[in-house]
Each structure stands twice: as structure tokens, then as C-alpha cells.
Amino acid sequence: GQQVMQIPQYQHVQEGEDFTTYCNSSTTLSNIQWYKQRPGGHPVFLIQLVKSGEVKKQKRLTFQFGEAKKNSSLHITATQTTDVGTYFCAGPNNAGNMLTFGGGTRLMVKP
Amino acid sequence: DGGITQSPKYLFRKEGQNVTLSCEQNLNHDAMYWYRQDPGQGLRLIYYSQIVNDFQKGDIAEGYSVSREKKESFPLTVTSAQKNPTAFYLCASSIFGRATKGNSPLHFGNGTRLTVT
């Protein structure tokens, strides 16, 4: 079945450093979604990418969708303590009726 | 405010007992989902429903059951057959239809932490 993998599993950074998490799918995706889960909270939708090679920015966050639509990345510039949490990517199955989540990357930021 | 309500936030049960987790949404979303999250792990799909009176198994449906009698409600029963029921359970909903092809974002509830001893 479809698999969605994320690396790294954990990342510790000093506040102000950059951070990147990578997402790879075993199948070509029609779109990819990113979510953030704060410690003790629930996942919150961040963004959806649809087009091959698409790049979207949200303030210090930059999201990319690969040309082959099988991989994606999230880059955070100059991390802040408010960025702490786990970032998940998720892709739909071929039928488009369910999402498969990656294992997530847990970001910890030292002030 | 529109949203998804899960109750209770914490739930404790003895081994061998069935327990039902509540999930209600007032977003008028067609699709609803149940995910399980274990500590430090990702989300795994238990069941999903795209329309009232219809639901499908996800990746880890064994030991769970659901119903979808109303559009707003999608309760999950964790049965005694579930071997490792202690986990964080998340309910979600999304718009689902021809236009979106099921790829619209998920809105999650606050979750229920179930502990079975």
C-alpha cells in the first residue's frame, strides 16, 4: 500500500537556526498537505500543494512540492520557540478518499 | 463557532470493557475520520465515512467499530478485542465531494486520551 515517510524523526535546533523536514511518498500524489501539532494538541492544517514544482510561503515557512509529485519539504527560516511541535505531511490515496500521514518530524527549539 | 467536539478529553477503562468515544461536528462536512496516535508516532487511520450510513475500514480497523447515523456524529467504539487500546484518538472531518475529490483539508478535534489498565 501507499507509504509516506518523513525525515528526520527529531530535530533539535538553537533558536534562530533554520530547519527542514522532508517527505517522500511511495506513489505519485495528486496533492500534499502539511499539518502542525503542538505538544499536547491536535494537528492543524497548514497548507496544501497541488502543482508539480510548486513553492508556497507562509512568513518564515517555505513549502515545496517535487517535480515528480512524490516528495515535498518544509523549511523554516530562523526558528522561534513558537515553532515547536511536530510537523506532518499527508498525501491522498489514488481514490482520493483518505489521507496517509507521514510519521512526522518533531522540532524542538532551544531558546 | 463551528468545529469538532470530542469527548471526553481523558478516559480510563478496565481491560475487557468496551468504550465509546464521541465525535460531533457542526461544520456541515460530509466526511469524518478516526485516527489513532501513539506516543511519538504518526497518525494511523482507523475508520472513515464519506456519507451517512456508510463507512470504510482504514489501516488499523481491527478491534474497533463505528456508526454514522447522522451527518454530525461519528462515534468510535473501542472493543475488548483491541489488543493495545491505550492511545490518543483523534476525530477529523472534511468537505468531500466531486469538486474536491476528497482532498480537502482535515479539521481535527482536540482528541481523547484513552488509558486501559
For B61-99, the pLDDT digits (tens) are 999 999 999 999 999 999 988 899 999 999 999 987 544
pLDDT at B110 over 60: yes
Contact between B96 and A41 using a beta-carbon 8 Å cutoff: no
Contact B103 A31 (CB under 8 A): yes
Mean pLDDT on A22-34:
95
- b/e map of B95-112 (b: 16 or more CB within 10 Å)? bbeeeeebbbbbbbbebb
Q: Residue A96 CB: number of other CB atoms within 10 A? A: 15
Beta strand A105-110 pairing with A85-92: antiparallel
Is A82 in a helix, a strand, or coil? Answer: helix
CB B42 to CB A1 under 8 A? Answer: no
What is the Cα B53 distance to its own chain's centre? 15
Percentage of residues of chain A with pLDDT beyond 70? 100
Q: Does A40 touch chain B (CB under 8 A)?
A: no
From residue B3, give the alpha-carbon distance in Å to each of A68, A105, B71: 35, 26, 14
Q: What is the DSSP letter of B30?
A: S
Closest-CA distance of chain A to residue B117, Å: 21
Q: Could you read off the pLDDT of B20-33 as tens digits, one per residue?
A: 999 999 999 999 99
On chain B, the residues whose CB falls within 8 A of the CB of A21 are: none
Residue to mutate among A5, A42, A94, with most B CBs inside 10 A, is A42
